[in-house]
């Protein structure tokens, strides 16, 4: 009798933690990055829009963004911290530049049978998306990064960057004259070069390259980042093993570099609408963790005036480059509480990877 009770107790001890942690772990993870979206960008959204999605999060934190060699990071090192759990030098894509590649969260998710995807408004080979599926010493190696996309086996890749996949015959800019569209078709991709064709894709993996390089700014596009994200979510959510999706409001950063108020506010609105859409998806689904953050702040932007209701905001800028200001992290869904507090950006990557594979081992400081 005592032996049986002991056995039951031992079985309980073994099973209970598994039950506890698996209930806590999300099935799907969606990472949304507002490139350059400092805290004052979020302030502008909240002040000017009473339905701003940022007020709907209860789990909020702050991140320190320095890279491994600079106080002020670039997007390559900033994205790598989140996509690999390691800080690297500026310009490096999931690589420490001493020939050591870091495994990306997408590669780790693939091993668990999950689907992967990116939806961005820059080229799909730009620093932030590249860090999720490629390894390179330099973010400027677009040809090489595009080639890596052909075998990274993403289920969804939507953004710009046509010229990095096309050879000279197809008016591309590849220096090796390879036609990457052919190899991607052979690997089961349906390819769309405009929004109307993208909407019509029914089966297969999706490569949507809707611009030569970056997409048009939000104010000059007939579709929104939310529209593109909706297509990505529909495609990815059919996998019973779950998915990981990275959505980037890429041009928030470009508006910051240009110190352009109208451009900045319209890109923030475009990104906010996409956040709202994903938040609704996560609420309905109940098994999706959404993490919204930024890689760094751009422009040293501050709000110097505006109407009482938050309309007609006046923005001023301290620089045309990036700054080391802390950025916000907003999370919703299973394990959201892991992302509140103040920590280094690479810790976000480690926490996300551990949610996908709890046995994954990192080297170096926590
Ligand atoms: Zn930038």
By annotation, the residues acting in catalysis are 75
pLDDT tens figures, 142-164: 999 999 999 999 999 999 999 99
| Ligand 1 center from residue 290 Cα (angstroms) | 23
The whole-angstrom distance between residue 256's C-alpha and the CA centroid of its chain comes to: 19
Domain ranges of the chain: 26-356
Q: What is the pLDDT of residue 7?
A: 61
| Ligand 1 center from residue 98 Cα (angstroms) | 24
Q: Please provide the average confidence, as pLDDT, over all residues in the chain.
A: 93
Which CATH code is given to the segment(s) 26-356? 3.40.720.10
| Ligand 1 center from residue 106 Cα (angstroms) | 23
Taking residues 332-348, what's their average pLDDT? 97
| Ligand 1 center from residue 296 Cα (angstroms) | 8
| Ligand 1 center from residue 26 Cα (angstroms) | 31
| Ligand 1 center from residue 267 Cα (angstroms) | 14
| Ligand 1 center from residue 110 Cα (angstroms) | 29
Going from the C-alpha of 209 to that of each of 51, 149, 185, 328, the distances in angstroms are: 31, 13, 14, 30
Q: What is the pLDDT of residue 135?
A: 96
Higher pLDDT, 16 or 300: 300
User: Strand 288-293 vs strand 327-332: parallel, antiparallel, or unpaired?
Assistant: antiparallel
Q: What is the pLDDT of residue 41?
A: 98
| Ligand 1 center from residue 195 Cα (angstroms) | 26
Q: What is the pLDDT of residue 16?
A: 47
Q: How far apart are the first and last CA of the chain?
A: 46
- pLDDT tier at 330, thresholds 50, 70, 90: very high
- pLDDT tier at 17, thresholds 50, 70, 90: very low
| Ligand 1 center from residue 217 Cα (angstroms) | 15
Taking residues 209-235, what's their average pLDDT? 97
Q: What is the pLDDT of residue 22?
A: 45
Q: What is the pLDDT of residue 54?
A: 98
| Ligand 1 center from residue 23 Cα (angstroms) | 38
Examine the pLDDT at 122 and tell me if it is beyond 50.
Answer: yes
3-state SS, one letter per residue, for the chain:
CHHHHHHHHHHHHHHHHHHHHHHHCCCEEEEEEECCCCHHHHHHHHHHCCCCHHHHCCEEEEEECCCCCCCCCCHHHHHHHHHHCCCCCCCCECECCCCCECCCHHHHHHHCCCEEEEEEEEECCCHHHHHHHCCECCCCCHHHHHHHHHHCCCCEEEEECHHHCCCHHHCCCCCCCCCHHHHHHHCCEEEECCHHHHHHCCCCEEEEECCCCCCCCHHHCCCCHHHHHHHHHHHHCCCCCCEEEEEEECHHHHHHHCCCHHHHHHHHHHHHHHHHHHHHHHHHHCCEEEEEECCCEECCCEEEECCCCCCCCEEECCCCCEECCCEEEEEECCCHHHHCEEEEHHHHHHHHHHHHCCCCCCCCCC
Q: What is the pLDDT of residue 3?
A: 54
pLDDT tens figures, 297-323: 999 999 999 999 999 999 999 999 999
User: Which residues have a beta carbon within 5 Å of ligand 1, which is an ion?
Assistant: 253
| Ligand 1 center from residue 263 Cα (angstroms) | 14
Examine the pLDDT at 8 and tell me if it is beyond 90.
Answer: no
CA–CA dist 205, 184 (Å, integer): 9
User: CA neighbours within 13 Å on the CB side: how many for 277?
Assistant: 19
pTM of the model: 0.93
- pLDDT tier at 24, thresholds 50, 70, 90: confident
- pLDDT tier at 9, thresholds 50, 70, 90: low
Contact between residue 199 and residue 231 where contact means Cβ atoms under 8 Å apart: yes
| Ligand 1 center from residue 249 Cα (angstroms) | 12
Q: 283-313: string of b/e by CB count within 10 Å (b at 16+)?
A: eebeebbbbbbbbbbbbbbebeeeeeebeeb
């Amino acid at each position: 009798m005592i032996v049986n009770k002991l056995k039951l107790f031992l079985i309980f001890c073994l099973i209970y933690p598994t039950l506890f942690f698996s209930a806590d772990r999300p099935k799907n993870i969606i990472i949304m990055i507002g490139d350059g979206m400092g805290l004052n960008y979020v302030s502008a959204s909240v002040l000017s829009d009473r339905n701003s999605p940022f007020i709907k999060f209860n789990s909020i934190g702050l991140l320190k963004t320095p890279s491994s060699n600079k106080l002020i990071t670039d997007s390559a090192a900033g994205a790598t911290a989140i996509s690999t759990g390691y800080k690297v030098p500026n310009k490096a894509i999931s690589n420490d530049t001493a020939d050591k590649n870091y495994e990306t969260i997408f590669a780790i998710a693939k091993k668990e049978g999950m689907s992967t995807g990116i939806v961005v408004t820059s080229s799909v080979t730009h620093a932030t998306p590249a860090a999720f599926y490629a390894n390179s010493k330099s973010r400027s190696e677009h040809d090489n990064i595009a080639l890596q996309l052909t075998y990274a086996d993403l289920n969804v890749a939507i953004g710009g960057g046509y010229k990095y996949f096309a050879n000279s015959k197809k008016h591309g800019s590849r220096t090796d004259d390879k036609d990457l569209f052919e190899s991607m078709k052979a690997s089961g991709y349906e390819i769309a070069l405009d929004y109307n064709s993208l909407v019509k894709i029914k089966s297969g993996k999706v490569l949507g390259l809707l611009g030569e390089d970056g997409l048009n700014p939000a104010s000059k596009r007939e579709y929104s980042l939310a529209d593109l994200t909706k297509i990505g979510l529909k495609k990815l959510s059919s996998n019973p093993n779950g998915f990981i999706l990275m959505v980037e409001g890429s041009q928030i950063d470009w508006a910051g570099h240009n110190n352009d108020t109208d451009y900045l506010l319209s890109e923030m609105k475009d990104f906010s609408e996409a956040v709202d859409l994903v938040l609704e998806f996560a609420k309905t689904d109940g098994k999706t963790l959404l993490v919204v953050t930024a890689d760094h702040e751009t422009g040293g932007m501050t709000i110097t005036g505006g109407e009482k209701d938050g309309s007609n905001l006046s923005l001023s800028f301290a620089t045309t480059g990036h700054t080391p200001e802390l950025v916000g992290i907003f999370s919703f869904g299973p394990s959201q509480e892991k992302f509140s507090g103040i920590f280094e950006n690479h810790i976000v990557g480690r926490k996300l990877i551990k949610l996908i594979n709890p046995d994954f081992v990192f080297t170096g400081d926590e």
